[in-house]
Amino acid sequence: MNVLICYFSGTGNTELVAQMYARCLSNSCTVTLHDMTSSALPSLEGVDWVGIGYPIHAFNQPALVRNFVKSLPLNSTHKVFIFKVSGEPLALNNASSTLIWRILRKKHTQLLGEIHLLMPYNIMFKHGDRLAKKMYLTTSALVPINVEQLITGSAPTIRASLLAHLMRVLCSIELRGCRLIGKSFHTTSACTGCGKCARNCPLDNITITAKKEVKFNNKCNLCMRCVCNCPVDAINIGLLNHWRVNGTYNYARLLSDDTITTNFTTADTERYYSSYVTYFDYADSTITQYINNLHS
């Protein structure tokens, strides 16, 4: 079986999850990974399954993900699964794929399932080491379980409440406005004009002038790659600047450091952990049950 995994990732989290899927599926399938920001559309010749991965943005999917799915020549012979990644286990995120599912249904594609996986925030605030490590470990344990469910035809889908749909619609205003918000990005006096932001922008939206001034154009998707990776934290994100996060997560360091523990208890004081307790309790019990089944 041939599987094509297409993903968009602003700051690397969804890309890591896409790689986890590729590793697990490659035990039984031929897998190709495709970054949605590549200039050419991937070939669907001989492809049986298509995986679509994206980071949730404002309870929706980034517009470029929707446009990519629209332009993929999918048909009734293809089976599609979605993995969406976000910083918070809120049920309000549940309706984020609505527009993609609508497009897929129009193309008569067969739907295999959808899963929401946690990876830390790249906007609003930076998760602490323990929580970031816990999210990474939980996601990397849930992916093989989801792959098995996909293969056995028992993968879950996600149901969204009316409130989640309402949030999705309300917040799509922010998404529609992201080009405008992107135009309000500017650099501070700390900018050295190194050009890293321009080189890395997935939409080629940043230019450096001859005077080494950084210009943010009008195609921004608010992915935060420029902001998180700026070596001198010199990008002001205009209207959203109080939510600016600088620096990505170094998972290799988190994983290799045994002093960063992830055995949370409900009495734990780690910032933000309390709002994730239900999610991790459920995830931990799913993982334990899966491991027990493997050994029985």
**Binding residues for ligand FMN, per CB under 6 A?**
9-14, 55-59, 85-88, 90, 93, 119-123, 222-224
Shortest Cβ 94–ligand FMN spacing (Å) = 11
Pick 49 or 83: Cβ nearer ligand FMN: 83
Listed residue (48, 50, 47, 128) closest to 87, CA to CA: 128
Pick 78 or 202: Cβ nearer ligand FMN: 202
The CA distance from 110 to 108, in Å, is: 6
Shortest Cβ 182–ligand FMN spacing (Å) = 10
Pick 2 or 236: Cβ nearer ligand FMN: 236
Pick 7 or 264: Cβ nearer ligand FMN: 7
Shortest Cβ 249–ligand FMN spacing (Å) = 9
Pick 24 or 56: Cβ nearer ligand FMN: 56
Pick 58 or 74: Cβ nearer ligand FMN: 58
Shortest Cβ 69–ligand FMN spacing (Å) = 17
Shortest Cβ 57–ligand FMN spacing (Å) = 4
Give the Å distances, CA to CA, from 209 to 147, 162, 205, 213, 217: 47, 47, 13, 5, 12
Shortest Cβ 181–ligand FMN spacing (Å) = 9
Shortest Cβ 293–ligand FMN spacing (Å) = 29
DSSP for the chain?
A: -EEEEEE--SSSHHHHHHHHHHHHHTTTSEEEEEETTSSSPPP-TT--EEEEEEE-BTTB--HHHHHHHHHS---TT-EEEEEEEES---GGGTTTTHHHHHHHHHTTPEEEEEEEEE---SSS-PPPHHHHHHHHHHHHHHHHHHHHHHHHT--------HHHHHHHHHHHHHHHTHHHHHHT-EE-TT-----HHHHH-TT--EEE-TT--EEE-S------HHHHH-TT--EE-GGGGGG---S---HHHHHH-TTS-----TT---TTGGGGHHHHHHHHHHHHHHHHHHH-
Pick 55 or 113: Cβ nearer ligand FMN: 55
